[in-house]
């Protein structure tokens, strides 16, 4: 009997690619999203699909109950659903801050609380939480998003200590900038925020983010993130953190070696450089150079040695 995974946020981007990757690797996949109609191609590919709003307790209970009724177990939970509320702390209304935390931080905890009793009973399971490299290297103009992802990372570290004796692994996936349509919503969220002219440079900088979805130098792909998820789910002893993308790995290294008192001036200098006229031109060029044409199809590597060595619970 194949292992079972529940993935949230599968209507596009990382979640959609991850669902296809797990299907190709022989998993029984429950792909979920708020808009279940957007999951038609995943259903056609063999995934079980369901409507799931991670902010709705009833949705969470219904989906988890269905999985347990149909499969009798759940081997992996991937908390991928999320969005980015950008804007300076002063400008973002509290209701939008609360929405950001409800989706990015509280939502995963709803799923975790629902699946943990069953994972404890079966004596195994893997919980994968998608955070961000901004947990370790926060960037100005992203306070609500940075905070929500940092909180989820801290919850993950805490949970790991609590469930280690039950055979349950807790993994954090830290993507750097990823080429997905997420940035279309980021632009929409920015439009809904009153722009104080004191932060004009930050808004202009974040406006460039919509070009990230085309890929480019240093930009990770959804396939990159899906590989990390699959590696963690298939491992008998997964790493605590998987940092995806070389720019994220550089940022994590810098964060680990630069003394904390130096980080704020260093980051401030980086923002000033990025928001200068030459900096903006460089970022525009950087983000729009697309070098993803030769990326291998993730599905072609489905029959891997990892699959044969996968933990059988």
> Choosing from 149, 183, 199, 203, which is the catalytic residue?
149
Return all residues near 93 (Cβ < 8 A) that are at least 6 apart. Answer: 193
CB 287 within 8 A of CB 219: yes
| Other Cβ atoms within 10 Å of 238 Cβ, number | 18
| DSSP β-bridge partners for residue 242 | 173
What are 21's two structure tokens? 């990757």
To 10 degrees, what angle do helices 57-71 and 107-122 make? 30
Q: Which two tokens stand for residue 284?
A: 């525009």
Is the CA virtual torsion 231, 234, 237, 238 positive or negative?
positive
Q: 247 burial class (0-12, 13-18, 19+ CB within 10 angstroms)?
A: middle
CA atoms within 13 A on the CB side of 33: 21
Q: 34: buried, middle or exposed (CB in 10 Å: 19+, 13-18, 0-12)?
A: middle
DSSP state, residue 126? E
Marked catalytic residue, from 30, 145, 199, 242: 145
- HEC string of 240-286 equals CEEEECHHHHHHHHHHHHCCHHHHHHHHHHHHHHHCCHHHHHHHHHH
- 170, β-bridge pairs: 127
Is-catalytic flag, 183?
Answer: no
145 is catalytic: yes
* Dihedral sign for Cα atoms in the order 60, 66, 69, 73: negative
Active site residues: 145, 149
């Amino acid at each position: 009997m194949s292992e079972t995974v529940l993935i949230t946020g599968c209507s596009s981007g990382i979640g959609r690619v991850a669902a296809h990757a797990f299907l190709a690797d022989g998993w029984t996949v429950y792909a979920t999203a708020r808009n279940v109609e957007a999951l038609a191609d995943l259903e056609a590919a063999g995934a079980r699909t369901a409507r799931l709003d991670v902010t709705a307790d009833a949705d969470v209970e219904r989906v988890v109950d269905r999985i347990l009724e149909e499969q009798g177990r759940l081997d992996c939970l991937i908390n991928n659903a999320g969005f980015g509320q950008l804007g300076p702390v002063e400008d973002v209304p509290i209701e939008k801050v609360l929405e950001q935390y409800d989706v990015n931080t509280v939502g995963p905890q709803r799923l975790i609380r629902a699946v943990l009793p069953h994972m404890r009973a079966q004596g195994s399971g893997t919980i994968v939480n998608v955070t961000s490299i901004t947990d370790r290297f926060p960037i100005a103009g992203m306070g609500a998003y940075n905070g929500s992802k940092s909180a989820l990372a801290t919850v993950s570290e805490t949970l790991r200590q609590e469930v280690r004796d039950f055979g349950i692994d807790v993994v954090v996936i830290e993507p750097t900038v990823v080429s997905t349509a997420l940035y279309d919503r980021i632009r929409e969220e920015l439009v809904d925020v009153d722009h104080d002219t004191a932060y004009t440079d930050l808004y202009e900088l974040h406006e460039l983010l919509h070009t990230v979805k085309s890929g480019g130098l240093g930009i990770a792909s959804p396939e990159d993130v899906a590989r990390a998820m699959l590696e963690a789910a298939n491992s008998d002893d997964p790493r605590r953190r998987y940092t995806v993308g070389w720019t994220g790995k550089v940022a994590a290294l810098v964060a680990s070696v630069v003394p904390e008192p130096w980080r704020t001036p260093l980051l401030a200098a980086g923002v000033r450089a990025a928001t200068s006229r030459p900096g903006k031109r460089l970022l525009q060029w950087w983000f729009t150079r697309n070098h993803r044409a030769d990326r291998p199809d993730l599905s072609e590597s489905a029959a891997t040695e990892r699959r044969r060595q996968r933990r059988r619970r």
